[in-house]
Amino acid sequence: MNFLTSLLAFIVAIGVLVTVHELGHYLVMRWCGVRVLRFAFGFGKVLWSRTDRSGTEWALCLWPLGGYVKPLDTREETAMNNADRAVAFDTQSVSKRIAMVAAGPIANFLLAILLYWIVFLNGVVEWRPILAEPPAGSPAAMVGVKTGDLVTRVDGEPVATWAAFQWHLLQAFGHEREVSVALAPTLDGHRPAESSERGVLLALPAGTRLGPDLLPSLGLRLATPDFQPVVGIVQPESAALVSGFQVGDRVVRINGVTVAHWSEVVNAIRAHPDQVMTMQILRNGQTQDLFLTPRAVEERVGRYGQSAPSEPQRIGKAGLGPVQDASALDEYRVRQELGVLEAFKAAGFETYDKSRFTLVMLGQMLTGKASLENLSGPVTIATAAGQTARIGPEAFLRFLAIVSLSLAVINLLPLPLLDGGHLMYYLVEILTGKPVSAERQAFFQRFGVVLLGSLMFIALFNDLQRLFNW
C-alpha cells in the first residue's frame, strides 16, 4: 500500500509540476504568435488526442511522467511557406525566444509561491525548536547545549520553529561563518524560561561538508515528548507483527528491566539487532511474554568534525510505534496563522530564500564544500511524495512547492538540454549579433547529455543508498 501511495503521489507531483512548466512555455508561445503543434501530457504512445481551432494537438500519452510542448520550427520542417515561417519558433526575435524559454521556470516559481501562500494562509503546525541532550563530545555539547534548551534567536533573528532554526544554520554554514544562537532553558522540558536566556557560538567543524548529516554531526537533535510505553502502531510485515504484538499492548519489562517510557523501548530495540528480546506486556489485564527479534538495519550517522559525510551503524528495527498523546504533542508544537497579504509576502520570501539557497548548495557541491549526497533522484522524490501525502495536504503542498522551485532553478542553469542552456545561446546571439551555429549547438548538446547523465547516475546512486541503507 505504501508503494502504491508513493507511486501515485509521485505521478501526481511530476504531472502537476511538469504540466505547469510546459503550460508556461505554451501560453507565452501563443502570446508571441507562435504556432504550437502539440501539447503532450506524458510521453510515449498517444492514447487520446484532440486538435483545437488553433491547430494544437492536445495529447494524452502512455507514460504519465511529465510532458512537452512542440512548437513549429523551420529546422524540423523542410517544406514551409512564408505564412508558416512567420509563426515558427526559431524565426521569432531573440527577445521573444528568451521570453518563451524563460516562461517555463517562471511558471514553476509562480506555482511555488501559490502553494506556499495556500499553506501559510491555512496555518501551519511546526515543532518548537527545543533541543534534546547532545551526544558527549559533539560541538553542541562542547558549547554547553543542555536538554530542554529552547532556541529563541539565531544571529539576532527571532526563531519560532525547528524548521526555521535548521534553515538559519544551513544558510550561515553555507557562507562559512559562525552562528550566534540564543538559548533559554525550559521548565518541565517544554515551557520556556526566557529570563535566563544565554548565547552560544556554533561553528562548522573543519573539513565538515554540508549534507544530510549536518545537524546530527553537530549534535543538534529535536526534543520530542516521551510517551507511555503503549503500542499504537504495528507495521505490516514487521518483526513486531511476527512476534505477536497488538495495538494497545503496554510494555512492562524488557529482558527483565522495568520500562516507564516509550524512549526506553526504542533504545532497547535499537541496541539489539538480530537478537532475541523478552518483552513482557500487559494485554487485557493479563501479562504475557513475547519474544521479539529486531531486524538489523544500517543507519548512517554523522561523524563529529570529520570530512566523511557518514558512517554506517548497525541498529535494530521492530516496526512499533506508540500511542501519541495529543496534549503532550501540543506542548512541543506551535501553530502559525497569517492573513492574506502576510501569507503572500511570506510565500514570496520563502520561494526566494529557498531558491537562493538551492543555488548556494549547487555551488558548494561543485567546489566540494557540500556533499554530493544532497543530490536526489526519482526514488527519493517518490518516497518523499508518498510520505508527505500520507502526512496530510499541508505537507504534500510544501513538498510540491520545494520541488517546483528546485525544478525552476535547475532548469535555469546554463547547461545544454536545459532552458538555461538555450538562454545562454540567446545571450551569445545578443552579444555577437548572430545565432550559435547548429554544429556548435550539437556539440554542446552531446556534452550536456554526458553531464546530465552523470548527475542522474549520482542522484540514483544516492537514492539506492538511502533506500537500502548502504
Supply the residues annotated as catalytic.
Answer: 22
Q: Would you put residue 378 in left (φ > 0), alpha (ψ -120 to 50) or beta?
A: alpha
For the record, the C-alpha cell of 91 comes out as 524565426
Nearest Cα to Cα of residue 459 among 390, 365, 357, 351:
365
Q: Can you state the angle between helices 94-122 and 2-31, rounded to 10 degrees? A: 140
Residue with the three cell numbers 526566557? 194
DSSP string, 256-271: TEE--SHHHHHHHHHT
Q: Give the whole-angstrom CA distance, residue 18 versus residue 445.
A: 21
For the record, the C-alpha cell of 322 comes out as 506508540
For the record, the C-alpha cell of 224 comes out as 520530542
Q: Give the whole-angstrom CA distance, residue 204 versus residue 169.
A: 10
Instruction: Give me the residues paired with residue 70 across strands.
Output: 38
What CA–CA distances, in Å, run from 39 to 22, 24, 35, 79, 458? 8, 12, 11, 22, 31
Q: Give the whole-angstrom CA distance, residue 131 versus residue 171.
A: 19
DSSP string, 346-384: HHHHHHHHHHHHHHHHHHHHHHTSB-GGG---HHHHHHH
Contact 68/43 with Cβ under 8 angstroms?
A: yes
Q: Give the whole-angstrom CA distance, residue 192 versus residue 412.
A: 44
